[in-house]
Structure 1
Amino acid sequence: MEINTESHSCGAILHILNSKGRPMPKAFPGLRDIQRGLTLLNFNPGPIDGQFGARTEAALLALLQARGPALEQRESAPRGAASIVQAGKYTVREAIIHCSDTRPLWMDNAALEAKVADIRRWHMQERGWRDIGYHWLIDRDGKLAPGRAETEIGAHVIDRNQGTLGICLLGGHGAAATDPFERNFTRAQDIALRALLADIKRRTPIARVSGHNEWAPKACPGFSVPLWLIGA
């Protein structure tokens, strides 16, 4: 079964995902068919129940992003690859979540590419690194931008960079390690992060998703990743 992203139903969902501050419908005509199609394409939407829950939302966004320019332009292992290998010898088995020390409205009118460029400049010029430390960055509106290539060792957790991917959520200034996700980050970021993790898991054997604060005495990423993963 093929899903046409230009169809009425998928177009309606894409409109919903791009609508800021509007309530999302829990069900609408054609949703079961979309869930079946997502399942056949290996984008797991959860139960085929006609309900537009978090898993269906994340699966659909993963599909849309997989067809979009952000994922097509990355330097990474291709979809369907058995694993992502860094420096020719470290298989990626963990994704580590971070947040930037920036306020929610930081560079509010700037494109995500400009924000990434500023963080890259900070990492390279002020920290002396050879590139930005993170592999992926997620803006407040859920847009994704690639950072360092997935096949390169990152610079995001001391003594835990080999075989891990660093994912940074923008807007975590002032967050505490025990804050709930929604206190500092947006619904769009929640959806995009879950979708990105699902995409990565299809390309490498991820055994663990963790937060920076599990490996260092820091607040970053500003929430408990284990609790977020189970929806608590």
Structure 2
Amino acid sequence: MEPTPDPLTKAFNDAIRPYLDQIEHLKNKVEDTTYQLQQLEDERADMHAWIDKRGLRADVPPSIANAMNSDPTSAQTLNYQLDRKMTVLNHDLHRLQDSLSSHLPTATFASTLAQLIPSIEDLSALPGGPALAFELIIKLGGNLNSHGGDEGWNNDADASSRAEFYNRLDDCMLDIVRLRLAPASGEDPPWQVGRDIKRLEKTGAFLRTKLGLQTYFPRSLELMKRGESRGAQ
């Protein structure tokens, strides 16, 4: 038989009992909340997996994209999906053109392909994203070049639309080049700027001959050359 507590101890226990009950209640609430949070985390992971499985990361609202981009592999995942989306979009444009008796104006192709530029800009803001975005911008320009040209579809309107499209690509590429040249870029292995300068210059010379495109990433090339000069010092 337990000894009867003295009056002082009994009074103390009676006084703190409501607080102990509250603490126990709060502990139970914390456990319930933790379980609910884990359920939400699992549901979010399932939703992200569903989005990625269908290649829809570039199309989700910003709030969801920000959450998905916290993953260390987000740049590679988004790059893969954008590359695939670009390929599908370009194929659809070719199929549409083949179904028509007259050619679509370059402006139609340019405006359709330009829809991908904001997503490529988002990619460039992710860790490891600038180098991937650099290649996608070049590929996006190449996709426009695949429409027309060989069939003699070029006219003043087409040439103007192509030049305007490339000017917009150059705007985007400038920001990407700045990110790649920044000391904190952390590219591994380091960016071989000179190699890409030669590549862009060679492509630009080819496009001047084939399509009459007078400038090919002129401002980006200028910035790359300045960056290469600083790196050589």
Q: Look at both structures and tell me which one has the larger radius of gyration over its CA atoms.
A: 2
TM-score (norm 2): 0.26
More helix by share: 2
TM-score (norm 1): 0.27
More strand by share: 1
